[in-house]
Amino acid sequence: MEAFFVSTGVVTLAEIGDKTQLLALLLAARFRRPWPIIWGILLATVANHALAGAVGQLISDLLSDTWLYSLSAISFLAVAAWTLVPDKLDDDNTPPISRYGAFMAALVAFFIAEMGDKTQIATVVLAAQFDAYLWVVLGTTLGMMVANVPVVFLGNAAAGKLPLGLIRVITALIFLALGLYAGWLALG
């Protein structure tokens, strides 16, 4: 259960102000149909994070504990630094999907936007760290939904009032703590 709670909390915080959260806002403004967007986000996230979790499990199975903890520490520290950099939605990376409807637009756009994103990398690292594939995938998926569903429903009103800088710093500190803990485990 620790893997579930840590994964949920870390991804929820990391997702705030992320490009996929901005994408959720864009889709909500474009389609004004929250439920198809939410279902698209959910299915895209499950597929993306299931793949990321599988990669994390594979890495965990192939590496010794020392190497695994060392790589986890480096990855967590890198994600901590990456978290401090604000994301922006790059129109060049968003496919012209609006002709397919709200559900398909959300499904395709979220799956593509999550490729190589910090929350996907975090899912790989968390799955390798905890060796609890299902709990990590469920936790990271829940974290994505906790961060994105309110954006779909509330739109710009709530997003503009969140202290994104403070949230980024808190998230970076959590990743830093996870990185230091993994580094300590690598040395021990």
Measured distance CA(53)–CA(72) in Å, rounded: 14
What is the per-residue pLDDT for 35? 94
pLDDT at 100 over 80: no
Of 2, 4, 21, 43, nearest in space to 140 by CA: 4
Please give the mean pLDDT across all residues of the chain.
84
16-51 residue pLDDT tens:
878 788 888 888 877 878 999 999 999 999 999 999
Task: Name the pTM for this structure.
Answer: 0.76
Cβ contact 59:128 at 8 Å: yes
Measured distance CA(58)–CA(43) in Å, rounded: 23
Number of separate helices (H) and strands (E) present in the chain = 9, 0
Six-digit token pair at 55? 């990669």
Report the number of distinct structural domains present in the chain: 1
The domain containing residue 56 runs over which residues?
Answer: 2-187
